[in-house]
Structure 1
Amino acid sequence: MELQKPSPQPRQPEGCLVVAIRIPVRIFVLVLVVPVRLVWDALVVAGRFLLDTLLRPLGRALAWVGRVLFVWPLVGLWRYVLVPVGRAIGWLARVLVAVPAAWLYRYVLTPVGHALAWLGRYLFVVPARWLYTWVLAPLATGVGLALYWVLRVLFVLPALALWRWVLVPVGRVLAVVAREVGEALTHAWRVAGRISRAVGRVLGTLFRWIFVEPVRWVYRSVLTPIGHVVRDAVLRPAAQAARAVGRVVGGALTSARDVVRQARADVRRMLFGEPRQPAAVDRREPEGPAARTLGSSTTALTKD
């Protein structure tokens, strides 16, 4: 079943009292709301930054710690200790209490209750009903009529007059004032939001022209050419010289290593003599296959 939205009621024509109340109230509320809206927007920005950078990660960490320290132990305690113990206690209570109590209620208390109800009906209910029907009801009817008219004359009629001639007009005036104050607050809040956004844009533009643009101009027009000059005149020649020095030092170190290696070999030769040459091993196999020619008659079959 679809819900149908009620059609908006046409607004009634407003009188001079409403217009006279609306303009001063809106001006006064706007003056009060603009600083509050500025402070509110600043607090909202700070709160969002604090929430994204500190509170949300801290909350996640605390939630994980809480699960580890409290939730998982409690779940384990509930599942593996309390639930079995509760089931055992429930079974004992059913066997020791519920079954005897049901038997006592069914076979003892129910018959006794029926008997007491039948004695109480004829001792109290029937006489009380007769007394109410034939004595109290007629008497109460007359007394109630008299009280009704006394209360109507003393309280109801003055209250109706007070409501109709005093409270309703005052309430209408207060409703108009409250409605205008509410509309003025809404309008002032929207205007204050626009003023706050305009102030933010002005401050952003001032910050850009006072700080960002000068820094950008200094970086683009001063620091970048100076950096290029320093790179081309100082850093690049220094790097080339450093590479040349590195190559010279590398060559010198290589020559020094060769000299040290040769000196170490000479010292070893002086102290221990020439290294022993490996002895020739007599092989059963020929050193290499002999080349065979067309005029050679020596073969494997004719060889001695």
Structure 2
Amino acid sequence: MDLEKRPAAPPAEQAAQHPAAPAPQFAPRQPPAQAEGCLVVAIRLPVRIVALVVVVPVRLVWDALVVAGRFLLDTALRPVGRALAWLGRTLVLLPLGALWTYVLAPLGRGLAAAGLFLGKCLFVWPWVGLWRYVVVPVGLGLGWLLHLLLVVPAVALYRYVLTPVGHAIAWVARGIGAGGKALGRGVRWLLRMLFVVPAVALYRYVLTPVGHAIAWVARGIGAGLMWLGAGIVWLLRGIGFVVGTLLRWIFVVPAVAVWRWVLAPIGRGIAVVAREIGDALGHAWRVAGHVSRAVWRFFGQLLRWIFVSPARWVYRSVLTPAGHAVRDLVWRPAADAARAVGRATRQALATARQSVRQARADVRRALFGGARERTPVERVPQARREPDSGRGRTLDPGTTVLTKD
């Protein structure tokens, strides 16, 4: 049992071992093999031994359970499931399908057709007749009446009364609008001279110079404040640099050192141990598979030697010759004798039936006399027959029944 990983053989050695194998055109790039330390090799052997000792019984039990489960599935569960499926299909699905196909579906279609016809008779056709023969004519009559009573007078009122009055009111409104427009122009000029012109002069010659002076003073104050803010920013940057440096040397550098020199080596060691444990479990599981196969094959061969081979020898060497002897010495002579008896019985019965039939014919002949001889029917000569023609059997225009011959 090889408990250590073997390094891959170099290409030249592989070619020497397999000279007939063609060299690959594009060989995949292999990652560089990592050198394993003595700690890894020292951990690997005991871990694999312990894993093999622990895993072999588990693998034996697992293989036994797998074989038992497959045997149970093939011999019990699957036939029972097929039988239950056949029973369910025969006792449930087929009767329900027949009930649905030949009873419920035709009954439902008949009820649907009857309900549809009844619904049309009760709801559709009466309302259609009411709408077509009552509502529509009444509506047309009411519409014509309302047109005569309302629309025609309203159109006449609009055309001959409201339109002339509206035109007169529009002419008066246009005159009033022209006067109001002239008055508005005068009021607008007066308001411009009283308010707009003084306001523009006040903004141009008073407020603008004052605003420029205030803006110049504000720019000076803003420049001073900007320089003051720049000084404060530089001061805060210096304080932040000092505080950051102190925090880095107090917290970050020790944490990095602990991670680099303590936690990372411990983690790599734990990773190596975990990887070796996983490889050992996989290797032990494969080795346990081979051991389990050998053990169960040995038990199978033992059972074959104890039960199957003796039973097969007894069947071939004892039961088969005994059966052949019974068949040749007992069953075949008995069958031949039975067939001969049956054949003789059938012949005797046939002879008896023939004798009874002959006696019955003799009694009938003695009581009622022999059968009359049949007189042969005289055939009509060929010349008396009708001529064979392709037409149907009809009479010529000049031929009658009496003059046919």
- Give the TM-score taking structure 1 as reference length: 0.57
Match of 2:301 in 1: 205
Q: 1:173-252 residue pairs with structure 2 within 5 A?
A: 173-252=269-348
SS at match of 2:62: helix
Pair 140,261 (structure 1): closer, same or farther in 2 beyond 3 Å: farther
Among candidates 47, 51, 54, match of residue 29 of structure 1? 51
Q: Which amino acid aligns with 1:168?
A: A
Among candidates 146, 149, 153, match of residue 249 of structure 2? 153
Q: Which amino acid aligns with 1:7?
A: Q
Q: 1:33-112 residue pairs with structure 2 within 5 A?
A: 33-45=55-67, 50=73, 54=78
SS at match of 2:59: helix
SS at match of 1:7: coil
Distance across 2 between alignment mates of 1:31 and 1:188: 8
Pair 280,215 (structure 1): closer, same or farther in 2 beyond 3 Å: same
Distance across 1 between alignment mates of 2:365 and 2:282: 105
Unpaired segments ≥5 residues, structure 2: 1-25, 86-92, 94-225, 382-405
Match of 2:352 in 1: 256
Distance across 1 between alignment mates of 2:34 and 2:70: 40
Shift of 1:48: 6.0
Match of 2:33 in 1: 10
Q: Which amino acid aligns with 1:35?
A: P
Shift of 1:266: 4.3
SS at match of 1:37: helix
Shift of 1:142: 5.2
Match of 2:208 in 1: none
Distance across 2 between alignment mates of 1:9 and 1:198: 38
- Give the TM-score taking structure 2 as reference length: 0.44
Among candidates 20, 24, 33, match of residue 42 of structure 2? 20
Shift of 1:10: 2.5
Distance across 1 between alignment mates of 2:329 and 2:316: 19
Shift of 1:265: 3.3
Q: Percent identity?
A: 60
Pair 155,251 (structure 1): closer, same or farther in 2 beyond 3 Å: same
Cα deviations by residue, 1:63-113 (Å, 9 ceiling, x for unpaired)? xx9xxxxxxxxxxxxxxxxxxxxxxxxxxxxxxxxxxxxxxxxxxxxxxxx
Distance across 1 between alignment mates of 2:313 and 2:341: 39
Shift of 1:172: 2.6
Shift of 1:29: 0.8
Cα deviations by residue, 1:213-232 (Å, 9 ceiling, x for unpaired)? 11111011111221121122
SS at match of 2:30: coil
Shift of 1:264: 4.2
Unpaired segments ≥5 residues, structure 1: 66-130, 286-304
Q: Which amino acid aligns with 2:288?
A: A
Pair 222,48 (structure 1): closer, same or farther in 2 beyond 3 Å: closer
